[in-house]
A and B are shown apart, each in its own frame.
Chain A
Amino acid sequence: MRVLIVEDEEDIKEILNDYFELLNIEVDSSSLGKVALDFIEKNRYNLILTDLKLPDISGYEIIKKAKEVNPNVCICVLSGFTDDNTKNIAKNAGADIFIEKPFSFSKIEEVINKCNDRWI
């Protein structure tokens, strides 16, 4: 499994990065959307966790690009915005799972399991 984390809050990015690394899951991370797009072009990811609000581009662009490159990729949105409108826009863009911040890692564990089921 290979994971991409797109998150501009450094603490969260670091903790997520460490979590996957502890589980021996290959992980890349970026706090910038454009760098993430570059990662998506060059690597094949099973799971992408992305914030919606990034410093340079919106998370929706990440989602759209990721699905174009690999329609089977699992997209998980991590966001502090919990309104239905945001969730619907994310879903329409191609997001599979929506997790509200702050989150527990048991939620991330569920995401990994869902993605693994998809890939079996």
Chain B
Amino acid sequence: MIDEFKLINFIKNKFHSNFIGDDAAVIPINNSDVLIISSDILIEKVHFFVNEKNLSFIGSKALISNISDIVAMGVEPKLFFLNIGFPKNIGEKIKILIDGLYSIAKKYNIQIGGGDISKSEKLIISISIIGFSKKENIVYRSGALHGDDIWITGYLGDSEVGLRIIKEELNIPDKLKEYFIEKHYIKEIHFEFIPFLAFRHLINSMIDVSDGFLQDLSHILTKSNKRAFIYDSLIPVSTFYKKIKKFISKDYKKIPFISGEEYEIIFTASPENRKDIENIAKNFNVPITRIGKIKEGNNNKALIEMENFKIENFSTLGYKHFH
């Protein structure tokens, strides 16, 4: 089976494209302005399962994942295009999915520009999303510098727990289930906070946590030719996550590092900018945590070191298609 990332590289090389390699494509409009475009696809039974209760959630999540890609470049998205295919048995209920999508679009003031509709055997949602910015405000994965603090917004782990509950692989008290299931589908996007940090030029590199913290951090490190030291004990988890420790015991420490579809933001920044970043986060009411440091790259050493082990091979750490 072909590896997803190898296929992306194959396509990039085939087309000699400079637009592939970050969370979104950055297309110059003129000397100062750029257009940012990202595209994503969600497929039934690959990315989600459909049931009576979750169509609205699926619609919301489809747009959230796209918004996250644009925000992770330091840009507020403005417009999206929706392409959707669905089977006969969903029928009129597709409007519930659209309602879910609309609730997120309304929340973040994003308009729909068009798209396409088709019948298909499975439910498929593909969204392309657009933003505009000044080119000097764009933050790439490749900008991490030696000595940078590594920051993470929010908390990690809740999405994976929600997924395990949905797949009936984990049983926890009912009063906690709803929290985690909702966290799997709907995450708060730091819609203004992150672009504001980018506008202030306070951050050097950035990526959103979609495949998993370690796997996504590795993209920053590879692009920036750097290594990282991560302090396990500093990784932030929610109070709800702490409450279910006994139910996930041996996975308790591992889950935050591999939990995908979190849509939190990993960013790196000079220690000199700490106070400014913390003050801005406070003003926007966004929890942020410093969890490690960027080090110089060294081909002979592991990309990521944590307190108890080193990571050189990321192939099993996060979600990968075709594995």
CA A113 to CA B56, docked complex, whole Å: 46
Please tell me the number of chain A residues within 8 Å of chain B, measured between CB atoms: 11
Asked if B231 and A105 sit within 8 Å, CB to CB, the answer is yes
- The verdict on A120 contacting chain B, using a C-beta distance below 8 Å, is no
- Interface residues in B256-283 (C-beta closer than 8 Å to A): 271, 274
Q: Are A109 and B233 in contact (CB under 8 A)?
A: yes
Number of interface residues of B (CB under 8 A): 14
Kindly state the separation between the CA atoms of A96 and B149 in the bound complex, as whole angstroms: 31
**Which chain A residue lies CB-closest to B231?**
A105
Count contacts between A and B, CB distance < 8 Å. 26
B232 touches A104 (CB 8 A): yes
Of chain A, the residue at the smallest CB distance from B271 is A21
Q: Which of A22, A102, A105, A109 contacts B293 (CB 8 A)?
A: A22
**Chain B residues, Cβ within 8 Å of A104:** 232-233, 307-308
Tell me if A85 is interfacial: C-beta within 8 Å of chain B.
no
B234's partner among A15, A21, A24, A105 (CB-CB below 8 A) is A105
Which residues 278-293 of B have a CB within 8 angstroms of A?
290-293
- Interface residues in A20-58 by Cβ distance below 8 A to B read 21-22, 24
Residues of B within 8 A of A (CB): 149, 229, 231-234, 271, 274, 290-293, 307-308
Q: List 9 A-B contacts (CB under 8 A).
A: A15-B229, A21-B271, A22-B231, A22-B292, A24-B274, A102-B308, A104-B233, A104-B307, A105-B232
Given contacts A102-B308, A105-B232, 4 further A-B contacts (CB under 8 A): A18-B229, A22-B234, A104-B308, A105-B234
